[in-house]
């Protein structure tokens, strides 16, 4: 079995969202999906329930930054999300980060695809989400820029953590606003200079952690 990351079709994953395994080679190991997972993607790949397009993990995970996509009324029933161009990488960011990523160069696109990402609908209330709102954690395998909007394809792993929990972590996650009104109340795409994985784990939020090479 090769050392390359495999693309796994959604048709091969369980419809009921239960954990599944793939093993191959002489010494393959089955890795279950329970809470936080550290996966070295070398001679085995664990198939996990996911949302969006084909299974995707970047060759290296950039933990210096993360993407946040907030979309009003989004049901995440397609392989992509659409963000208005005038709300993409031009708000809720530091000037340094905005200056770095606003020019959509090929280098920037490549780096964005390696960042962990959060996908969510807008908060249902001012400064907070209702108990049914969930967040998707994953990656962005492709981005297309159009005149009026940005089309971001995604592969995500739905967290069993309610969105209201993230509203309690504004400072830790470098999110703009307070408990009265914050950026999760507004449709936009922003990039934060923050180790999302570390902050979520320290806050007790269980997420899959993929180790596919040296992280930044």
Q: What is the mean pLDDT of residues 78-100?
A: 96
CA distances from 14 to 19, 23, 46 (A): 8, 16, 13
Q: What pLDDT score does 46 carry? A: 47
Q: Indicate the average pLDDT of the chain.
A: 79
Q: What pLDDT score does 208 carry? A: 82
| Beta bridge partners of residue 137, listed in sequence order | 118, 157
Q: What is the mean pLDDT of residues 11-33?
A: 37
Q: What pLDDT score does 6 carry? A: 36
Give the tens place of pLDDT for each residue, 51-68: 687 788 898 999 999 999
Report the largest interatomic distance among the alpha carbons of the chain, rounded to a whole angstrom. Answer: 56
- In this structure, the chain runs to a length of 216
Give the tens place of pLDDT for each residue, 126-156: 998 988 899 999 999 999 999 999 999 999 8
Q: CA 116, CA 197: separation in Å to the nearest integer? A: 8
b/e burial code for range 173-188 (CB count within 10 A of at least 16 → b): bbbbbeeeebbbbbbb
State residue 138 phi and psi, 5-degree precision.
Answer: 180, -145
**In this model, does residue 1 exceed pLDDT 80?**
no
Select from 57, 66, 38, 61 the least CA-distant residue to 215.
Answer: 61
Query: Which distant-in-sequence residues (6+ apart) come within 8 Å of 169 by Cβ?
Result: 175, 199, 200, 203
> With helix as H, strand as E and coil as C, how does 38-61 read?
EEECCCCCCCCCCEECCCCCCCCC
Q: What pLDDT score does 52 carry? A: 80
What beta strand segments (E) does the chain contain?
A: 37-40, 51-52, 65-71, 80-84, 117-121, 134-145, 149-162, 188-193, 208-211
- pLDDT band at residue 84, thresholds of 50, 70 and 90? very high
pTM beyond cutoff 0.85: no
């Amino acid at each position: 079995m090769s050392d390359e990351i495999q693309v796994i079709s959604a048709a091969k994953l369980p419809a009921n969202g239960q954990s599944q395994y793939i093993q191959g080679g002489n010494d393959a190991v089955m890795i279950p999906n329970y809470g936080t997972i550290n996966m070295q993607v070398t001679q085995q790949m664990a198939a996990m329930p996911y949302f969006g397009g084909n299974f995707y993990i970047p060759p290296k995970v950039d933990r210096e930054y993360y993407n946040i996509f907030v979309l009003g009324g989004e049901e995440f029933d397609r392989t992509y999300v659409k963000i208005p161009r005038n709300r993409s990488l031009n708000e809720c960011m530091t000037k340094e980060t905005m200056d770095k990523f606003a020019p959509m160069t090929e280098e920037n696109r490549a780096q964005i695809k390696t960042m962990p990402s959060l996908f969510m609908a807008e908060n249902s209330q001012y400064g907070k989400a209702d108990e049914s709102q969930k967040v998707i954690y994953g990656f962005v395998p492709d981005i297309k820029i159009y005149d009026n909007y940005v089309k971001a394809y995604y592969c995500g792993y739905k967290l069993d953590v309610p969105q209201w929990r993230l509203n309690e972590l504004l400072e830790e996650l470098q999110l703009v606003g307070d408990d009265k009104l914050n950026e999760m109340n507004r449709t936009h795409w922003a990039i934060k200079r923050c180790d999302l994985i570390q902050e979520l784990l320290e806050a007790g939020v269980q997420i899959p952690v993929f180790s596919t090479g040296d992280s930044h």
